[in-house]
């Protein structure tokens, strides 16, 4: 095969990896009734005029299955961190004792678990849409190569099958990841 085809497949693989990686990142932010430090990944605090992630301002640890402790190194910033967590609307109200901020994750109701599972499915579907878009773009580029006589009909057919195999592989990975997350959420 020529290097244009290799470039198309490389680009497709890269796009599929990005979509799958994004799905994994989104699932890390979903809380399943257990303390998960990743829930704070997108929470930013104004720290001396600079927006700073909480994990760069202190240590975040899981002390019990449903309790997250945040020890801020600069104790004068505890109020700002508390304010940022409240504004982030993560669904948990922080408490502090002057030195440590605690987030106590409530046990999830059956209704809330089902709601979270719907969100898990939605994220999975968005991932698969991104993958299908990458497939469409790759197939369009391959057809353009055929139009320019850089590929024969047989080569195009073989490439289309290879593209579909790659899509099937990554779609299966996305589905498996969603199933694992749903099982984790539904586990009482």
Domain boundary among 104, 123, 148: 104
Q: What is the per-residue pLDDT for 31?
A: 66
Mean pLDDT by 10 residues, the chain (188 residues): 86 94 86 74 84 87 85 88 84 84 83 87 95 94 89 89 94 94 82
Final residue in a domain of this structure, among 57, 88, 104:
104
Residue 118 shares a structural domain with residue 177: yes
Q: What's the token pair of residue 21?
A: 């990686």
CATH code: domain of residue 8 = 1.10.132.20
- Assess whether 83 and 141 both reside in one domain: no
Residue (of 92, 44, 35, 98) closest to 69 by Cα position = 35
Residue 18 sits in which domain range?
3-29+109-186
173 and 82 co-located in one domain: no
Q: What pLDDT, on the 0 to 100 scale, is given for residue 32?
A: 66
Are 149 and 95 in a shared domain?
Answer: no
Count Cβ neighbours within 10 Å for each residue of 123-161 and write b for 16 or more, e otherwise: bbeebbebbeebbeebbebbeebeeeeebeeebbeebee
pLDDT at 13: 95
Output the pLDDT for position 122: 94
Q: How far apart are CA 77 and CA 48, in angstroms?
A: 9
What span, in angstroms and rounded, lies between the C-alpha atoms of 160 and 177? Answer: 26
Helix, strand, or coil (residue 185): helix
User: How many structural domains does the chain have?
Assistant: 2
* pLDDT value of position 166: 95
């Amino acid at each position: 095969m020529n290097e244009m085809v290799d470039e198309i497949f490389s680009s497709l693989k890269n796009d599929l990896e990005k979509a799958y990686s994004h799905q994994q990142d989104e699932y890390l932010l979903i809380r399943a009734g257990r303390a998960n430090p990743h829930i704070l990944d997108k929470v930013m605090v104004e720290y001396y005029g600079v927006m700073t992630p909480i994990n760069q301002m202190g240590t975040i640890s899981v002390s019990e299955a449903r309790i997250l402790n945040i020890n801020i190194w600069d104790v004068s910033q505890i109020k700002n961190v508390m304010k940022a967590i409240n504004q982030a609307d993560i669904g948990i109200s922080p408490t502090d004792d002057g030195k440590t901020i605690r987030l106590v994750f409530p046990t999830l109701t059956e209704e809330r678990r089902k709601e979270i599972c719907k969100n898990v499915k939605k994220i999975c579907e968005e991932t698969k849409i991104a993958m299908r878009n990458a497939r469409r773009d790759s197939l369009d580029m391959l057809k353009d190569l055929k139009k320019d006589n850089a590929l024969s009909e047989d080569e195009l057919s073989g490439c289309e099958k290879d593209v579909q195999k790659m899509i099937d592989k990554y779609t299966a990975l996305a589905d498996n990841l969603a199933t694992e997350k749903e099982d984790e959420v539904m586990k009482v």
